[in-house]
Amino acid sequence: MNMRDVARRAGVSSATVSRVLNGSPLVTERTATRVREVLDKMGYIPNPHATTLKYGRSKTYGLIVPDIWNPFYAEFLGAFEHLVREIDYELLFTNVEDDAKLVSSVRRMLMRQVDGAVLMASEFDTKAIEPLLLHKVPLVTVDRRAVQTGCSDVAIDFESGFQHAVKHLKELGHCQLGFIGGTEGLKTSRVRFQAFRSALEHNGLTFHQEFVCTGNYRVDGGDLAVRALWERPMRPSAVLTVNDLTAFGVIRGLHRMGFAVPRDVSVVGVDDLLLSDVMQPELTTIRVPRQRMAAVCLEALNYTKEDVHRRGRRFSVPTEFIVRESTVHASCSEKTRAK
């Protein structure tokens, strides 16, 4: 059943029905009421594909995330989907494990004529997103720390987060701080690592390359990395990580090697997953607010959409340092610091 059917039953033209549906002021209240009644009675359901076909606007936003199995992205998705629905938009969600999937995701976004897209996929050589830019799709990236025509960026303020974390650890007497990073070569890994390094500097602590190891943003990566780290001649008394999953892995790895967190080593995560205060020990972490982030992404999308021929803007999302149980005073027991 379509507008014409409704129009016929209401004794008007389909244009009038369309006007009523779109809240045009060019309709008498009397007519509008009658039309609305018929609309209701017939249970009319609009067909947005017709509009998309004609005008190229789909009321759909794309969202690309790198790993939906990481609860951080699931939680972000929940928040983002909620906001998108509030403004009566649709969400085209895609998970992207590898480059091939990124390419196909971009193609799908183009096909479905999305009105904008948020890209959290960790690695785009800018190559993969070019088609989107070319087709003037408003874009928002997260933590790419770069903008360009038609593409804004949302930066998470890890700098501040790590500074609080390092300060906290220093106050607890830790001066040998380790860091377990994310996947080698990813921009987001570098951003967090740099934030860690400059936090050390700001707090007057020295950076030790031998206290740094690379993970993969997942539990197993943190586990493996901390084992590798603990093979080395010197060991840190506290370890900061690239995200909570990595921190969980670090805790598990230490535990399995016979060390206890926080007794022997303090650990700090990043994200504050819903489960981070359920883990034992409850995780001290740099919280990345998903709700807020989703709102800022949408704001950035709107800004970019206003004029796709304009250079994008940088947006920022604050972090919050949350102290729980995984960080305590440095034990000073040498056993944790040297083999």
Partner DNA sequence: CTGTTAGCGCTTTCAA
Partner DNA sequence: TTGAAAGCGCTAACAG
Residues within the interface to DNA (CB under 7 A): 2-4, 7, 11-19, 21-22, 25-28, 30-32, 46-47, 50-51, 53-55
CA distance 323 to 265: 15
Residues that bind a copy of itself (CB under 8 A): 43, 45-50, 52-53, 58, 68-69, 71, 73-75, 77-78, 81-82, 85, 90-95, 101, 104, 107-108, 110-113, 131, 219, 248-249, 252, 255, 274-275, 278-280
CB 323 within 8 A of CB 171: no
Q: Are strands 284-287 and 266-271 parallel, antiparallel or unpaired?
A: parallel
- Name the residue nearer to a copy of itself (CB basis): 103 or 175: 103
- In the list a copy of itself, DNA, none, the entry touching 93 (Cβ below 5 to 8 angstroms by class) is a copy of itself
In whole angstroms, the minimum distance from the beta carbon of 99 to a copy of itself comes to: 15
Nearest to 158 by CA among 273, 320, 326: 320
SS3 call for 91: strand
Beta carbon of residue 60, minimum distance to a copy of itself (angstroms, whole number) = 9
- Cα–Cα separations (whole angstroms), residue 254 to 54, 224, 226, 236, 238: 60, 10, 7, 12, 12
Task: For the CB of residue 136, give the shortest distance to DNA in the complex, in Å.
Answer: 14
Looking at the Cβ atoms of 78 and 185, the one nearer to a copy of itself is: 78
- Cβ pair 313, 138 in contact under 8 A: no
Choose the contact partner of 30 out of a copy of itself, DNA, none; CB within 5 to 8 A by kind.
Answer: DNA
**78 touches which of DNA, a copy of itself, none (CB within 5 to 8 A by kind)?**
a copy of itself
Give min distance, CB of 170 to DNA, in A: 59
Q: Which of 289, 180, 185 is CA-nearest to residue 239?
A: 180
- For 338, phi then psi, to 5°, come to -150, 150
Please identify, using beta-carbon distances, which residue of 6 and 119 lies nearer to DNA.
6
Q: Cβ 242 to a copy of itself, closest distance in Å?
A: 16
> What minimum distance in Å lies between the beta carbon of 58 and DNA?
12
Residue 75 near which of DNA, a copy of itself, none (CB within 5-8 Å, type-dependent): a copy of itself
Nearer to a copy of itself among residue 230 and residue 248 (C-beta): 248
Q: List the single partner that 11 binds among DNA, a copy of itself, none, CB under 5 to 8 Å by kind.
A: DNA
Take residue 208 and report the two structure tokens written for it.
């030790």
289 binds, among DNA, a copy of itself, none (CB under 5 to 8 A by kind): none
**109 or 267: CB nearest DNA:** 109
26 is in the binding site of which of DNA, a copy of itself, none (Cβ under 5 to 8 A by kind)? DNA
Q: Closest CB to DNA among 112 and 187? A: 112
Distance in angstroms (rounded) separating the CA atoms of residues 136 and 159:
32
CA 267/CA 206 separation, integer angstroms? 18
* Sign of the Cα pseudo-torsion (142, 144, 146, 149, in order): negative
Q: How many other β-carbons are positioned within 10 Å of the β-carbon of residue 310?
A: 12
Give whichever of 54 and 339 is closer to a copy of itself, judged by the CB atom. Answer: 54
Shortest Å, Cβ 231 to a copy of itself: 22
DSSP-assigned states of every residue in 256-321:
HTT--TTTT-EEEEEE--GGGGTSSSPPEEEE--HHHHHHHHHHHHHHHHHTTTSBP-EEEE--EE
